[in-house]
Structure 1
Amino acid sequence: MENIQDKARGGWWLLAALLLIAVIAFTAKHQIGVLVWSLAKISVAAYLGYWIDRSMFREGRPDQQKALGCKHAAWYRRAAIISACIVGLSIAV
């Protein structure tokens, strides 16, 4: 049961996003292309950020850290790199 709840924890956000996309599609159909382009940029940036972190810190993956402090630092580092990629690509393109 916990596994299903864990996978569905973002379900409300997904439902809200789909509802807002439906509202945009109904009220301003010409904005759908802009929305798809923005979502594609953000997805590519997140993917690039993840792989930049993995290639730069081969031995520093968060799941391979033994000490709790090192594990948290690795997660924060990865989140910062992915966030920087998302912000940079969103502003640049």
Structure 2
Amino acid sequence: MFQTFLTKLKGSLRLWPCLLLAIVTTTAVGVVYPQQVGLLLWSLTKVFWAVYLAYWLDRWVFWYARPGAYKASGTAGLTSLAMMMLRRALLMAAIAIAVGLGV
């Protein structure tokens, strides 16, 4: 059981350089402009909620074409799977950018 936990933890820390950079820059903002930390956290919260809702919007609208439930066979199957994954990523990115820009 402990080995399984370590394996999951190792997989979840693939982006540790990004996490470290986020912590360092947030700390720098907190030191230089402490009044902006609340605004930064509010903006991040909005973007994370937008990405979360975009994921569920994709699952709701395209209920028949989920990448995780697709059984790819052959080149055409892999192309369809790639298109489903690209659709979801583009939808999530577009909504995150729109919310991040304040729309």
TM-score in terms of structure 2 length: 0.80
For 2:37, the equivalent position in structure 1 comes to: 32
In structure 1, C-alpha distance between the alignment counterparts of 2:67 and 2:25, rounded to whole Å: 34
Partner residue in 2 for 1:82: 92
Aligned-pair identity in percent equals 31
The equivalent residue for 1:52 is 57
Computed over aligned residues only, the root mean square deviation of the Cα atoms, in angstroms, reads 1.6
Higher radius of gyration, 1 or 2: 2
Number of aligned positions between the proteins: 93
Would you say 1:10 and 2:20 are equivalent positions?
Answer: no
Specify every segment of 5 or more residues in structure 1 that has no aligned partner in the other structure, as ranges. none
Letter in 2 for 1:16: L
Q: Which moved more, 1:37-46 or 1:61-70?
A: 61-70
TM-score, L = length of structure 1: 0.88
Q: Which amino acid aligns with 1:57?
A: F
